[in-house]
Structure 1
Amino acid sequence: MEALWIVLLGSLTAGYFALAGFDYGTALLFRFVGRDEPERTRVLGAMTPFALGNEVWLVAAVGVLFGAFPRLEGELLSGHHGVFTAIVTGLVVFTASVQLRGNSRAWDVPLIAGALAVAVGWGWLAADLTGAPAPLWGAGVVALFAVHGGTFLAWRLPGRSGERAGALARSLVLPCAAFVPAVVLLSGSARHPELAVVGAVAVVVLLLGSRLASGRTAFACTALACALPVPVVFAAADVVHVETMAHTATLTVLTPVALVVLPLVLLFQWATWWMHRA
Structure 2
Amino acid sequence: MEGVWVFLLAFLTCGYFALAGFDYGVGVVLRLVGRDERSRREVLRAVTPFFLGNEVWLVAAVGVLFGAFPRLEGELLSSQHTVFVVLLAGLVCFTVAVQLRSPGWDFLLVGGALVVVVGWGVLLGRVLGGPVWLWGAGMPVLFSLHGAVFLAWRLSGGLRERAVRIAGLLVLPSLVFVVAAVVTAGSVPVPAFGVTGVVAVGLLGGVWATLRSRRHLVAFCCSAAVCALPVLGVFGARSVVTVSVMADVPTLRVLTWAAVVVVPLVLVFQWATWRMSRAAR
Q: TM-score if structure 1 supplies the norm length?
A: 0.96
Q: For residue 203 of structure 2, what is the aligned residue in structure 1?
A: 206
Q: For residue 37 of structure 2, what is the aligned residue in structure 1?
A: 37
- Contact map agreement 2:128 2:233 (CA 8 A) in 1: no
- After the TM superposition, which parts of structure 1 deviate over 3 Å for at least 4 consecutive aligned residues? 236-240
CA deviation vs aligned residue, 1:104-129 (integer Å, no higher than 9, x gap): 21100000010001000001111111
Q: For residue 108 of structure 1, what is the aligned residue in structure 2?
A: 106
SS in 2 for 1:241: helix
* Superposition pairs of residues 33-72 of structure 1, within 5 angstroms: 33-72=33-72
- Contact map agreement 1:24 1:119 (CA 8 A) in 2: yes
Q: For residue 147 of structure 2, what is the aligned residue in structure 1?
A: 149
- Contact map agreement 2:207 2:222 (CA 8 A) in 1: yes
CA deviation vs aligned residue, 1:6-28 (integer Å, no higher than 9, x gap): 00000000000000010001011
Q: For residue 128 of structure 2, what is the aligned residue in structure 1?
A: 130
Q: Call closer, same or farther: CA 1:140–1:268 in 2, change over 3 Å.
A: same
CA deviation vs aligned residue, 1:210-262 (integer Å, no higher than 9, x gap): 11112111000001111111001222354753101110111011111111110
- Contact map agreement 1:193 1:235 (CA 8 A) in 2: no
**What's the CA shift for 1:164?**
0.4
SS in 1 for 2:100: helix
For these two proteins, the number of residue pairs brought into alignment is 275
- Structure 2 unmatched runs, 5+: none
| Match status 1:261 vs 2:265 | no
- Contact map agreement 1:123 1:140 (CA 8 A) in 2: yes
CA distance in 1, matches of 2:183, 2:223: 22
- Contact map agreement 1:181 1:200 (CA 8 A) in 2: yes
CA distance in 1, matches of 2:66, 2:232: 19
Q: For residue 160 of structure 1, what is the aligned residue in structure 2?
A: 158
What letter matches 1:127 in structure 2? G
Q: For residue 2 of structure 1, what is the aligned residue in structure 2?
A: 2
What percent of counterpart residues are identical? 57
CA distance in 1, matches of 2:242, 2:107: 40
CA distance in 1, matches of 2:150, 2:218: 10
**What's the CA shift for 1:200?**
1.2
What letter matches 1:110 in structure 2? L
CA distance in 1, matches of 2:207, 2:178: 16
- Contact map agreement 1:72 1:239 (CA 8 A) in 2: no
- Structure 1 unmatched runs, 5+: none
Q: For residue 21 of structure 2, what is the aligned residue in structure 1?
A: 21
Q: TM-score if structure 2 supplies the norm length?
A: 0.95
Q: For residue 242 of structure 2, what is the aligned residue in structure 1?
A: 241
**What's the CA shift for 1:189?**
2.4
Q: Provide the aligned C-alpha RMSD in A.
A: 1.1
CA deviation vs aligned residue, 1:33-72 (integer Å, no higher than 9, x gap): 1111111110011011111110100000000000000110
Q: For residue 118 of structure 2, what is the aligned residue in structure 1?
A: 120
Q: For residue 227 of structure 1, what is the aligned residue in structure 2?
A: 228
What letter matches 1:205 in structure 2? G
SS in 1 for 2:7: helix
Q: For residue 219 of structure 2, what is the aligned residue in structure 1?
A: 218
CA distance in 1, matches of 2:144, 2:258: 35
**What's the CA shift for 1:184?**
2.0
- Contact map agreement 1:193 1:236 (CA 8 A) in 2: no
